[in-house]
Structure 1
Amino acid sequence: MNIKRIIFTTLCCTLSGLLFLYMLKWDWSFFIIPTLMALSVSLTNYDLISIRKKWFGILLHLSLSIILFFVTIFVTFTLSAKIGGYIIFYIGCAFGAILFALLTNIILPLQHFWSSLLIITGVSLICFPIATYIHEASWNIAPILKGRENIAIVWMILVGLGISTGIHDKRPYIGWSTTCPLLLDVQ
């Protein structure tokens, strides 16, 4: 596992989230989230891009991330009108993270796809509770994160951590066949 690259990618995602907060007052600031997230992940892992023309891989990742972002927002707000409540934010965070992981897997292959997808889904499900806690905490964790838009920053940090862990996890995979004797192939 390449800890330095995981930390570097997560740090770039964190800085992207803080840049989003700074540019929030801009009219087109909603384009910043998918753009910065895609650039943070693809540029910090430039050498691992599986497409021969790496610049094309970055442009593909960037354009598909923007489309994915709008699909996620549309699905989340459409479901919130029908379902309501806070459960829709959990679904929206997980839906966006899973789609971003699938998209990233096209140009930056995840080493152990299913376990990486499970980790990414897990960290995306805790984004909303953490963002709500930061928003409602009586003690100042970070004054810059007090607004409701902190969900984007928390999501970018945790999903960036999950994606980078999936990309750089080089440990041998211990699957069901080695841990459960009933699933071993008997010849």
Structure 2
Amino acid sequence: MKIAVVVGSLRKDSFNRKLANAIVRLAPPEFSFKQVEIGDLPLYNQDDDANQAESVKRLKREITSSQGLLFVTAEYNRSIPGVLKNAIDHASRPYGQSAWAGKPAGVLGASIGAIGTAMAQQHLRNVLAYLNVPTLGQPEAFIHAKDGLFDENGNIGADSKKFLQNWMDQYVAWVKKHVG
């Protein structure tokens, strides 16, 4: 199973990029994960729908060729980052040609705030529902980024491993249910 991973943060050392890199190591070997590039996309403009940039075409190809989606998002001002919304808009256009439609998804995120990325995840779920992306509802994963979340090798730390392994197991079952 090929999974497209969309990280809603451009920062090299973002907690969410680290989380995306670490959580995929908890998946079974028949699942492969590829982070898709969203930082090079132009700002979405409907006037460009008939002549999309090469970076947009690449994003759409990578999503279309995947069997599932994994969104790992930061929270900016109680919502999803603009770069993530921009990527979603590009790959959903032109109208009726969405690359996202029907792809099973998982949503999680980490933040230094106590509620993790709860608000951003809720906003993202609303957008994904409109785009016909069946999204894993439970368990929710609002990760508080604090010491011990990752070990010295960048893996999920011992205190969080059981919870996040359960999340990954549920996600894997969700994808298999919708693909197979």
Q: TM-score if structure 2 supplies the norm length? A: 0.32
Structure with the largest fraction of strand: 2
Structure with the largest fraction of helix: 1
Higher relative contact order (CA 8 A, sep 6+): 1
CA radius of gyration, larger in? 1
